A and B are shown apart, each in its own frame.
Chain A
Amino acid sequence: MTAPIITVTGLTMGWDDTNLLEDASFEVERGEVFAILGGSGTGKSTLLRHLVGLDAPRAGAIHIEGVGTPSLEVGRPSYGVMFQSGALFGSMTVGENVALGLTAWTRLPPAAVDAIVRAKLRLVGLAGFENHTPAEISGGMKKRAAIARAMVLEPELLFLDEPSAGLDPVSAVELDELILTLSDALGLTVVIVTHELESIFKIAHRCIMLDSKTRSIIARGDPRELRDTSRDPDVHHFFNRTTEDA
């Protein structure tokens, strides 16, 4: 049994004078797809920002790979992050966006960087789009390019914020399959923030569910088991919606 890749202990976080989550603890195991669930305003994306070190917790600790609360010092990142909007740099081409990590943090010759970038873009279904600018591609394509950028340095840990939100059903299914394949083939640990429940049942091994009323984690475990066995009315309602959608 290997040590968890992420350990969160007694985390309290929030905005201004409001706490979104209080004294929350959970662990993410190596190689799993871990979903952070909850309705709008429960702090899913805020929790992700804390996990990647963009925001500091009010109390508690976050350990990634055994190292304390993540900080964003300049240096080669140990994990990849895909933001909800993709957050591609508009002044660069799609290829340059993906190549950025390689050119900054490796000593690969330009031709090798180009080869890897082309392979990564093909992997996410964007073959031939190296010289397009972000403004020239659709929202779904931006998200896929952002995943390619996030995984270009071969991190063991990938954070994805609402990857399939706003995508058409076919693109969403393709993205789910890509995430599953990445996790399976490369052994990636994927932490995913989403409320696309169809997607969660398909790809997540485990999940936690945040609740804004109690400011706590009200459910944790295999999402399929939670759907079938949870007696908590909020959890039941949340997953019942899934059953209807699925």
Chain B
Amino acid sequence: MTTWPKAEAERTRAFGIEYLDTGAALEVRLAGTLALADAAALWRELQPRLHPSTHEEVRLDLSGVESIDGGAMALLVQTRWDLETAGGRCEITGASPAVQKIVDLYQSHPPADRRPPPKARSAVEQIGNATYEALLEVQLVLAFVGSMVLSMGGVLRRPRTANWREVAHIMNRTGSDAVPIVVLINFLIGFVMGFQSAVQLKQFGANIFVADLVGLSITRELGPLMTAIIVCGRSGAAFAAELGTMKVSEEVDALRTMGFGPLRYLVFPRILGLVLVMPILTLLGDLVGVLGGLLVGITSLDLTVTGYLIETQGALHIWDVFQGLIKCGFFAIAIGVVSCQQGLATSGGAEGVGRRTTASVVTALFALILVDAGFTVLFHALHL
């Protein structure tokens, strides 16, 4: 049986192949030029015919091969190993000295069993694994907070061991640079709230109470929360990515070996910077949120600027603003702790940095809502 010369139907190729079948043995005679471009055709030719169950011995005769590249030789040599692994016998013969060099090159290392790829996990296993990993993350965050408390003691005893010089830079990055987006988002939130409430309140002729609704909800709840969400997405993600990259490039290890604790050198300045700028950003957010409501009041509800502001002043108590500021301090700590913890827990290169940055934002958002809910219940219970 022979397929030499090559079939017309096939695309032009530079090699020929001929089979000599003697029952127990099969001799495959290859000729011409074999290259990676022909590897697909060569593979399709060889695979259906070469199996230890049909022939005990296979000889790959390369005496007619003028030249061969590494890709084609890789296929032949791997075919040989696969046949022998399956219990057959296979040899590569007849190669010219030039071709034999490539045969020797590819046969110079013995094959080895590869580790099997990871098995697909069942849905139950995946849920169990995800739950375990979530609990493990909680444990890691708690352990991180514990280390911070211990390290804080050391910083209080020896304040110079922390990198306080970094705080101003962090405040600039997380505060000044965030002003435009904080202003825009809070203004729009106040505007949308005013607009939505105006539609309802207009029906009862209670237009003026838009000022009360917007003022209270912005200062007590939405101003601090929206500002925290922006800071979380902006600065929290940046902290996690920055520390994560430092971790995988061994910069954190270098700090350790130079006697700088990563908590004191990297984490405390970031958290302190956030704690200092968040109240300022929140106050700014409160102000522009009220202005957003004011715009709706004077454009859609026929209210005057003075009337709107007097109504807002009457509805708001200083404690309402203070509530928001208390919350935002804890929001800042939550964002700082979670993002730094996730950053320092990074491993595994670029993919690990991406994974931890995502986890940092998601976990910090969850922490923000949790803190917010906790304070809302607490203030309610204390009748504040």
Contact = CB atoms under 8 A, between A and B. Distances in A.
Interface of A: 90-91, 93, 95, 106-109, 111-112, 115-116, 118-120, 122-123, 125, 127-135, 151-154, 181-182, 184-186
Given A90-B350, A128-B114, A186 B39 contact: no
Interface string B287-314: 0000000000000000000000000000
Interface stretch (B66-74, B205-213, B371-379): B66-74
Contacts of B167: none
A34 B126 CA distance: 52
The main secondary structure of chain B at its interface with chain A is helix
A134 B349 contact: yes
A121 to B, nearest CB: 9
B112 A116 contact: no
B259 interface: no
Given A112-B40, A182-B105, A186-B105, A120 B112 contact: no
A141 to B, nearest CB: 13
B5 interface: no
A95 B114 CA distance: 10
Interface in B22-71: 35-37, 39-40, 43-44, 47, 69-71
Given A127-B109, A186-B105, A115 B78 contact: yes
Q: Chain B interface: which size bin?
A: 35 or more
Contact of A127 (B79, B112, B352): B112
A181 B116 CA distance: 31
Contact of A123 (B35, B74, B116, B352): B74
Contacts of A95: 114
Given A122-B110, A154-B70, 20 more contacts: A106-B37, A108-B39, A109-B44, A115-B74, A118-B111, A119-B73, A119-B74, A127-B110, A127-B114, A128-B112, A128-B115, A130-B115, A131-B116, A131-B117, A131-B118, A135-B348, A153-B71, A182-B105, A184-B101, A186-B69
A106 B112 contact: no
A111 B105 contact: no
B351 A122 contact: no
Interface string B341-360: 00000011111100000000
Given A116-B71, A130-B114, A154-B70, A107 B109 contact: no
B111 A127 contact: yes
Interface of B: 35-37, 39-40, 43-44, 47, 69-71, 73-75, 77-79, 81-82, 101-102, 104-106, 108-118, 347-352
Contact of A122 (B71, B79, B109): B109
29 contacts: A90-B349, A90-B352, A91-B351, A108-B39, A108-B40, A115-B43, A116-B71, A118-B111, A123-B105, A125-B109, A127-B111, A128-B114, A128-B115, A129-B114, A130-B114, A131-B118, A133-B348, A134-B349, A135-B348, A152-B71, A153-B36, A153-B71, A154-B35, A154-B70, A185-B102, A185-B105, A186-B69, A186-B70, A186-B102
Contacts of B348: 90, 133, 135
B74 to A, nearest CB: 3
Given A90-B348, A127-B109, A116 B40 contact: no
A119 B106 contact: yes
Contacts of A90: 348-352
Nearest to A116: B74
